[in-house]
Amino acid sequence: MKYKNEFTMTVKSLSENESFVRSSVAAFCLPLNPTIDEITEIKTAVSEAVTNSVVHAYPDKVGDIVIKVKLSEHDILISVTDYGVGIDNLEKAIEPFFTTKPEEDRSGMGFTVIESFMDSFKLERNKGAGITVHMTKHIGQANTQMVGDENAWAR
């Protein structure tokens, strides 16, 4: 797969950085000419991934969140990586309404929202600590090559 463009950014796990990341990723994918609905879905998914890192990965400290974005002809690939406490049970974490912080009125729908708005979604444990959320969104209907491509991030 040939990528037309890509960028990487690192932000601190502060809640005020969520809107900056969301807006940056949305602006970066504009050359693909996404619809308003596609932009909204991308922004929401990125927001959920970053918010999960802020709230869950670094509960008692501030850490780094690394966002990588790649654009191909009709696809945007996004990864959100933290190096925090990680997730013990990835299968349980993606179940609707599961939350490790019910006392904070968390709905437990973050990964469900990401999965519903993106064409592919995968959680991966990092070597060392933390997790990476991989997401792919196909823009338009002309090309379906990237959707579900398990090896896209290895390239």
Q: Is residue 11 part of a domain?
A: yes
pLDDT at 96: 53
Q: Is residue 83 part of a domain?
A: yes
| Owning domain of residue 111 | 5-140
Give residues with Cβ within 8 angstroms of 128, minimum separation 6: 83
Q: What's the rounded Cα separation, in Å, for the pair 111 and 122? A: 10
One-letter amino acid at 116 equals S
Q: Is residue 155 part of a domain?
A: no
Q: What is the pTM of this model?
A: 0.80
Q: Please report, for the domain that includes residue 36, its CATH number.
A: 3.30.565.10
- Burial code (b: 16+ CB inside 10 Å, e: under 16) for 79-110 equals bbbbbbbebeeeeebbeeebbbeeeeebebeb
Q: Is residue 150 part of a domain?
A: no
Percent of the chain with pLDDT over 70: 74
Residue 148 has pLDDT above 60, yes or no: no
Q: Is residue 152 part of a domain?
A: no
Residue 147 has pLDDT above 50, yes or no: no
Per-residue pLDDT averaged across 52-69, rounded?
92
Q: Is residue 151 part of a domain?
A: no
Question: How confident is the prediction for the chain on average, in pLDDT?
Answer: 83
Per-residue pLDDT averaged across 116-144, rounded?
84
Q: Is residue 145 part of a domain?
A: no
Q: Is residue 46 part of a domain?
A: yes
Instruction: Give the residue numbers annotated as catalytic, written as ranges.
Output: 48, 52, 106
Token pair for residue 70?
């790649």
- Domain count for the chain, please give it: 1
